Amino acid sequence: MIETITTLFSGKSGIVLLIILGILAFATLIVSVIFRAKTSQELKDRIYSWWIIIGAFILGAMLNTTVAMFFFALISYLALKEYFTLIPTRRTDRRIIFYAYLSIVFQYWFAGAQWYGMFIIWIPVYLFLLLPFRQVLIGETQGFLENTSRVQWGLMMFVFGLSHLAYMMTLPAVAGHDVGGKELVLYLVVLTELNDVLQYLWGKALGRHKIVPKVSPNKTVEGFVGAFVTLSALAVAFSFLTPFTTLQALAAGMLISGAGFVGDVVISMVKRDIGVKDSGHLLPGHGGILDRVDSLTYTAPLFFHFTYYLYY
Amino acid sequence: MLKWLFFALIVRPTILLIFGVHVRGREHLSHDKPCIIVANHNSHLDTLVLMSLFPLRKIHRIRPVAAADYFMKNRLIAWFSTQFIGIIPLSRKVERSHTHPLESVRQALEAGDSIILFPEGSRGEAEQMSKFKSGVAHLAKMAPHISVVPIYLGGAGKVLPKGEALLVPFIIDVHINEPMMIGEEDTQAFTERLEEVIKKAGERDV
């Protein structure tokens, strides 16, 4: 037990985890002790939920690779369920939705087994061809295109996209470096979430000009630029978790900041389309799980292929 | 005991972990006083979701009223309905008998049990509400000191609609509304009011 904890918090990833927990403890201290009276309930809920999210991430993803496969599969499942609850569905779509859930098991099995070929084509090719065929067997033509597309889109975002985290986890250490999959996942997740927080903070501090007023009125140009610059610097600062050169780390930071923003507003687009503010109620102050993994649906596959191309 | 095990090991884990329930207005549901729970009905899951709102130690006190022609159809189903769920069977046909058809339900309330009733009378089409029958109002007149808790259920009809055997996970919405008392109101007006409250709760949901 004690040995597990010391291993968890030792080495390069351990240092980063301690830094994150330190920042969170500091934020909690400020909010619940020093500015107790002035803080809104929403901010308190938000910070409280961050403890849960970070705790779940450390226990789920950082302890052991096998556990991490189940953990990321569970995240995919919860996100997909939230998405399917939001979108309009016909009674006949229940069948293909059931297949969509089932596909998670296979996708994460391929990730865990490091079966790259199947991992990369299972959803974009096989499921993509199978679901319309199943719809043909059911025979309900009315609304076929809309509904099948909706289900496939959800699969691409929340199963295919997010499962890149799981595959990345299994990547071995790069020759000549002592960092591998676990450190890369930590690097990606920490930077993606920091990017969200930084956009919010920069926007609060300086935000004047709305960047996508129709989709997400709270996002500002100042927030985006501020986070973009800060995150690029942080990407270099944290690059000891990766095999990257300084230039590569800078590029990774820009990629994560830009892609994270796009992922965020794409999910906002879905919520606007359906007409809800939060995707769910799982995390107080954050909304649902989709609101938390939105940026990752973009950063995970993009960062994965960036790294995979350079080093694997 | 069977009922307790069934809910502790199968029903609650499935409903809470695999589907997920989002409950609003939990403060309107008292765990200590008996009450009449009234909800819209789209799925067999409805009863199980409503029963899962209560703590396990209270589960034996929650009795759903269910159609005798369906849930007592043969010995196997009847055994399951009475032992695992603890239903109070109610005949949907009008019968000539000496006792009031709701007498057994009233007795259960008097004994301190809570009752679950679906005034639509049947599950009907998925995610659509049909007209309420007045049985609840009559029951409320027979037991005027007991409050009626209207609950809107959304999504259970997608998880398991009538006539399907395949469970497909969706998050189930439970919207508990303020308890109502019948008082001097006539049964027709009370039934309409009840239907209105549950319909409204469903609209606010979308």
Count of all residues that appear for chain B in the document = 206
Q: What is the pLDDT of residue A230?
A: 97
The secondary structure of residue B204, as a DSSP letter, is H
Name chain A contacts of B161, Cβ cutoff 8 Å. 91, 94
A303 or B75: which carries more pLDDT confidence?
A: A303
Mean pLDDT across chain A: 92
Partner-chain contact B168 A98, CB within 8 Å: yes
Over residues A227-245, the mean pLDDT reads 96
3-state SS, one letter per residue, for chain A? CHHHHHHHCCHHHHHHHHHHHHHHHHHHHHHHHHCCCCCCHHHHHHHHHHHHHHHHHHHHHHCCHHHHHHHHHHHHHHHHHHHHHHCCCCCCHHHHHHHHHHHHHHHHHHHHCCCHHHHHHHHHHHHHHHHHHHHHHHCCCCCHHHHHHHHHHHHHHHHHHHHHHHHHHCCCCCCCCCCCHHHHHHHHHHHHHHHHHHHHHHHHHHCCCECCCCCCCCCEHHHHHHHHHHHHHHHHHCHHHCCCCHHHHHHHHHHHHHHHHHHHHHHHHHHHHHCCCCCCCCECCCECHHHHHHHHHHHHHHHHHHHHHHHC
Partner-chain contact A97 B168, CB within 8 Å: yes
Which chain A residue is nearest to residue B158, measuring alpha carbons? A91
Residues B179-199: pLDDT tens digits? 999 888 888 999 999 999 999
Percentage of chain A modeled with pLDDT above 70: 100
Distance in Å, alpha carbon of A12 to nearest chain B alpha carbon: 35
- Chain B residues 124-143 with a CB less than 8 Å from chain A: 126
Distance in Å, alpha carbon of B171 to nearest chain A alpha carbon: 6
Name chain A contacts of B19, Cβ cutoff 8 Å. 81
Partner-chain contact A95 B161, CB within 8 Å: no
Amino acid, res. B7: F
- Chain A residues 152-211 with a CB less than 8 Å from chain B: none
Query: Which helix (H) or strand (E) element contains residue B151?
Result: strand B148-154
Distance in Å, alpha carbon of A263 to nearest chain B alpha carbon: 23
Which chain B residue is nearest to residue A94, measuring alpha carbons? B168
For residue B15, the enclosing domain spans 2-205
B169 interface with A at CB cutoff 8 Å: yes
B158 interface with A at CB cutoff 8 Å: yes
Beta strand B148-154 with B172-176 is antiparallel
Q: Pick from B126, B170, B206: which is nearest to A84 by CB? A: B170
Residues A136-186: pLDDT tens digits? 999 999 999 999 999 999 999 999 999 999 999 999 999 888 899 999 999
Q: What is the pLDDT of residue A294?
A: 95
Partner-chain contact B168 A101, CB within 8 Å: yes
Please give the structure tokens belonging to residue B16. 């809470």
Q: Residue A276 — very low, low, confident or very high, per pLDDT cuts 50/70/90? A: confident
Name chain A contacts of B158, Cβ cutoff 8 Å. 89, 94
Q: Residue B69 — very low, low, confident or very high, per pLDDT cuts 50/70/90? A: confident
B20 interface with A at CB cutoff 8 Å: yes
B110 interface with A at CB cutoff 8 Å: no
**Residue A279: pLDDT above 90?**
no
Partner-chain contact A280 B126, CB within 8 Å: no
Q: Pick from B20, B161, B164: which is nearest to A81 by CB? A: B20
Partner-chain contact B171 A98, CB within 8 Å: no
**Total domains present in chain B:** 1
Name chain B contacts of A89, Cβ cutoff 8 Å. 158
d(CA A224, CA A220): 6
Q: Considering only CA atoms, which of B200, B188, B187, B113 is closest in space to residue B151?
A: B200
- Exposure string over A41-60, b if 16+ CB within 10 A, otherwise e: eeebebbbbbeebbeebbeb
- Please report, for the domain that includes residue B138, its CATH number: 3.40.1130.10
Over residues A292-307, the mean pLDDT reads 97
CA Rg, chain A, in Å? Answer: 20
Which chain A residue is nearest to residue B156, measuring alpha carbons? A85
Backbone angles phi, psi at A114, to 5 degrees: 55, 40
d(CA B175, CA B193): 16
**Residue B206: pLDDT above 60?**
no
A90 interface with B at CB cutoff 8 Å: no
Q: For an interface test with B, which of A94, A104, A105 has the most B Cβ atoms less than 10 Å from its Cβ?
A: A94
Please give the structure tokens belonging to residue B141. 């007149």
Sheet holding B114-117, edge to edge: B21-24, B172-176, B148-154, B36-39, B114-117, B62-67, B88-90
**Residue A275: pLDDT above 90?**
no
The pTM assigned to this predicted structure is 0.91
Q: Pick from B20, B126, B170: which is nearest to A91 by CB? A: B126
Name chain B contacts of A92, Cβ cutoff 8 Å. none
Distance in Å, alpha carbon of B116 to nearest chain A alpha carbon: 26
Q: What is the pLDDT of residue A187?
A: 97
Residues A105-126: pLDDT tens digits? 999 999 999 999 999 999 999 9
Residues B162-179: pLDDT tens digits? 888 899 999 999 999 999
The three-point CA angle A263-A265-A270 to 5° equals 95
Is-contact A298 A307, C-beta < 8 A? no
Q: Pick from A78, A81, A282: which is nearest to B170 by CB? A: A81
Please give the structure tokens belonging to residue A221. 């140009």
The three-point CA angle B143-B144-B145 to 5° equals 95
Partner-chain contact B169 A81, CB within 8 Å: yes
Q: Residue B98 — very low, low, confident or very high, per pLDDT cuts 50/70/90? A: low
**Residue B92: pLDDT above 60?**
yes
**Residue A202: pLDDT above 80?**
yes
Q: What is the pLDDT of residue B30?
A: 82
Of A212-221, A232-241, B157-166, where does the model show the most confidence? A232-241
B155 interface with A at CB cutoff 8 Å: yes
**Residue B96: pLDDT above 70?**
no
